[in-house]
Chains A and B, each alone.
Chain A
Amino acid sequence: MTLDLLRFTTAGSVDDGKSTLIGRLLYDAKQVFEDQLEHVQEASERRGGEGAFDLALLTDGLRAEREQGITIDVAYRYFATAKRRFIIADCPGHQQYTRNMVTGASTADVAVILLDARRGVLEQSKRHAFISALLGIPHMLVAVNKMDLVDHSRERFEELVEEFGGFAERLAHGDRATDVSFIPMSALNGDNVVDRSSRMEWYEGPVLLDYLEQVDVAYDHPDERPARFPVQWVVRPAASGEDYRGYAGQLASGALRRGDEVAVLPDGGRTRIAAIDTYEGELDEATAPMSFTLRLEDDLDISRGALICHPDEAPEVARELLADVCWMTDAPLRPGGRYVLKHTSHHVTAAVQAIDDVVDVHTLQRSGPDDAPSELALNDIGRVRLRTSAPLVFDSYASNRRTGSFILIDEASNGTVGAGMIAAPVAAAA
């Protein structure tokens, strides 16, 4: 089998019909097992009386969620068709909305954004689209749901396409435009989810499952992006007496070939790739996102956290940087705060020097230069200046999600308190 893997994210509250949509997708794609269906049947009848059947209950995981009819945390679901394997990051819409959305979006190739055809483009859908774009998701699929409640009206659909399309155009981050598509559907009735609707013959585009099976996967097309290999682990069999020294890691982007000249950052040493080792044997070429072990021609001092790349395509090396930070804990982020920062395969200490702006979650506008916030509160997203205890080797998040992202960890609680997307080194931005 040579299926590939597509990760997509959904977000929204119970009212949007998000759980019903996922339930419908799994059910119509015949990805629900009999014992799971029995569970849903029993739970539906316990809540809604005999004969009730609520597809949304397929996706509730924890006891508190079933009791309270809410979703607490990002849940991951899996299904496969003859064409692809899918991983859904299913994000709740009630509590911790931004935090969960950002988490689900961080690894997604596609964001499925729900609109209720009656209610139109609401704040929550806009916020979802904003976060999806900020997190660098290359494709947005707008599911215009509950078309049955607007008489399957083509005019209403086109109105929403125009309204949301205008909004989405303003979301481009960096040099990457987001690809936006729209599908009219009714998850409740199964129209245009897996099966084509006979009630909306005016719609000629793909149904949801077709779209998901065909959309381009965001694995870097290796020739289009510079190679980035963060060293995770040095393989040195001490006891065997062999003179083996390998640098193990997962290629974050691009491609590396045996014989390539490479630079090792942040120190800047140069050497060539002597071999690309895997358990199966040596490779001539490796592409992202493969994991492998490099042997180098020269004996350089290389440890975890170093980054190997081609010398003419080097990333930034800096100790002061600007980043968008999504704050994920109750105690606010303030200038002067210190955190552990994990980036690629190493940790440094980071001090917050200033907060330049914060995004208004209602208007999605950044605060102006004269209106810099004094702190970032839980679920805020803002532009922060950081100084680190050691140089970071990075790209902007807009050009590389792997080498442009970091997390902030509280030194006392060890909790993950912030998610960061690097915009630029401070010097370059000034």
Chain B
Amino acid sequence: MSVAARPQLSHLRALESEAIHVMREVAAEFERPVLLFSGGKDSIVLLRLAEKAFRPAPFPFPLMHVDTGHNFPEVIEFRDRRVTELGERLVVASVQESIDNGRVVEETGPRASRNRLQTVTLLDAIAEHGFDAAFGGARRDEERARAKERVFSFRDDFGQWDPKNQRPELWNLYNGRINNGEHVRVFPLSNWTELDVWEYIDQEQLEVPSIYFSHEREVFKRDGMLYAMSPFAELIDGEEVTTETVRYRTVGDMSCTGGVVSQAQTLDEVVLEIAATRITERGETRADDRVSEAAMEDRKKAGYF
């Protein structure tokens, strides 16, 4: 075991370089890429990586947000501000419009969520704009089905993922060839963990929406999770609204994203909290993954993020 002649590149710099390489491959090999920007921490990192990959030129693709209409207002405000700062173009695909046009039917009842409906809106927007590659911030450490997904994840003309029939992916040689109507989802953060994302946000001093930091909020407890009280929330008998000091580990819909009790008010404190946590982010905060043992796998097969 010899000693390296020079200090090694830190693991964050190595992951960053790999992700920049992936983004440039997509820009070079696809006609109409798009970057999915939710205002969440992972897509915030994607934006910084895109700056590193393409500046001083503008991004060779627009950004797109699939807006469920049930987002945290703090996140939408942040989204618009960040896009303006970058001087890039944002496409908003609206789930409300999909409902109004009769493409999807709104779920009803206190447990209703627009989570599933997003898939239709996303696939419709990809078809409408002719996007052939969509960058997403998904990571393989998030969930068991994602652990098997490629960096370039092929989708057929129905937007479906076929986990048993994926293209082998070797070295850093990505196969971006597709036919008309097909597309790929590209995940530059595949090899990052939640802690890497936060350490990177800290290293780069990136702004994130305020809901990622500890704040007081009116919440109600359901299935062991703390949900935000909002105009979209419908209480079930016996549920009470209380005020708690919480922050969010993930940014999804208000209807299916739980907050965690936390005192972390700065990036440093968030990094420390994540480094010490004993529960995965999706396990702790996402009702959408709790439906069944293979909830994520099923949604991904149908074309979900």
Question: Residues 231-247 of chain A: 1 if any B CB is under 8 Å from the residue's CB, otherwise 0?
Answer: 01101111110101000
Decide if A415 is an interface residue (CB 8 Å cutoff): yes
The one of A215, A279, A290, A304 that contacts B13, using a Cβ cutoff of 8 Å? A290
A222 to B4, CA, bound (A): 9
Within 8 Å of chain A (Cβ to Cβ): is B8? yes
Residues A402 and B21 in contact, CB atoms below 8 Å apart: no
CB distance from A49 to the nearest CB of B (A): 18
List A contacts of B199 (CB < 8 A): 1
- B58 within 8 Å of A (CB atoms): yes
Note all chain A residues with C-beta closer than 8 A to B173: 342-343, 405-407
Given A414-B175, A416-B168, the answer on whether A223 and B5 have CB atoms closer than 8 Å is yes
In the assembled complex, the CB of A153 is this many whole angstroms from the nearest CB of chain B, namely 28
**Is there contact, CB below 8 Å, between A76 and B190?**
yes
Kindly provide the distance from the CB of B271 to the nearest chain A CB, expressed in whole angstroms: 9
CB nearest to A84 among chain B residues: B11
* A4 adjacent to chain B (CB < 8 Å): yes
**Range class of the A interface residue count:** 35 or more
Residue in contact with B53 in the complex, picked from A34, A60, A291, CB distance below 8 Å: A291
- Choice from B8, B58, B175, B191 contacting A217 with Cβ under 8 Å: B8
Q: With A62-B148, A342-B175 in contact, is A99–B8 under 8 Å at CB?
A: no
B100-115 vs A, Cβ < 8 Å mask (1 yes, 0 no): 0000000000000000
Query: Are A237 and B56 in contact, with the CB atoms below 8 A?
Result: yes
Q: Check A415–B147 contact: CB distance below 8 A.
A: no
Cβ contact within 8 Å between B147 and A76: yes
How many Å from the CB of B199 to the closest CB on chain A? 6
Check B58 against A250 for contact (C-beta < 8 Å). Answer: no
A232 touches B24 (CB 8 A): yes
A251 — nearest CB in chain B belongs to which residue?
B17
Could you say which of B77-85, B213-221, B277-285 contacts chain A?
B277-285
Complex interface: chain A residues within 8 A of B144 (CB) = 60-62
The answer to whether A33 and B168 touch across the interface, beta carbons within 8 angstroms, is: no
A-facing mask of B160-203, CB < 8 A → 1, else 0? Answer: 00011011111111010111000000000011010110010000
User: Once the chains are docked, how many angstroms separate the CA of A407 from the CA of B172?
Assistant: 10
Q: How far is the CA of A244 from the CA of B166 in the complex (A)?
A: 40
Interface contact B10-A4, CB-CB below 8 Å: yes
Q: Are B148 and A236 in contact (CB under 8 A)?
A: no
The residue that B280 contacts in the complex, of A33, A102, A215, A415, with Cβ under 8 A, is A33
Q: Which residues does chain B contribute within 8 Å of A167, judged by CB atoms?
A: none
Q: Is A41 an interface residue (CB 8 A)?
A: no
The chain A residue sitting closest to B177, CB to CB, is A414
- Complex CA gap A34/B11 in Å reads 26
Q: Does B291 contact A (CB under 8 A)?
A: no
- Please tell me if the beta carbons of B297 and A232 are within 8 angstroms of each other in the complex: no
Given contacts A78-B141, A235-B57, A250-B21, contact A216 B2 (CB under 8 A): yes
The 5 closest A-B pairs by CB, nearest first: A35-B283, A237-B57, A291-B20, A106-B170, A5-B11
Spell out A's residues near B (CB within 8 Å). Answer: 1-5, 33-36, 39, 43, 60-64, 66, 72-78, 80, 84-85, 87, 99-100, 102-103, 106-107, 214-217, 219, 221-224, 232-233, 235-240, 242, 244, 248-250, 278-279, 287, 289-291, 304, 328, 340, 342-343, 345, 401-402, 405-407, 409, 414-416, 419
* Additional A-B contact list (5), CB under 8 Å, known A43-B293, A64-B164, A106-B170: A223-B6, A242-B56, A279-B51, A401-B171, A414-B178
Can you name 10 A-B pairs with beta carbons within 8 Å? A1-B10, A33-B279, A35-B283, A60-B144, A62-B164, A102-B168, A103-B169, A290-B9, A407-B175, A414-B175
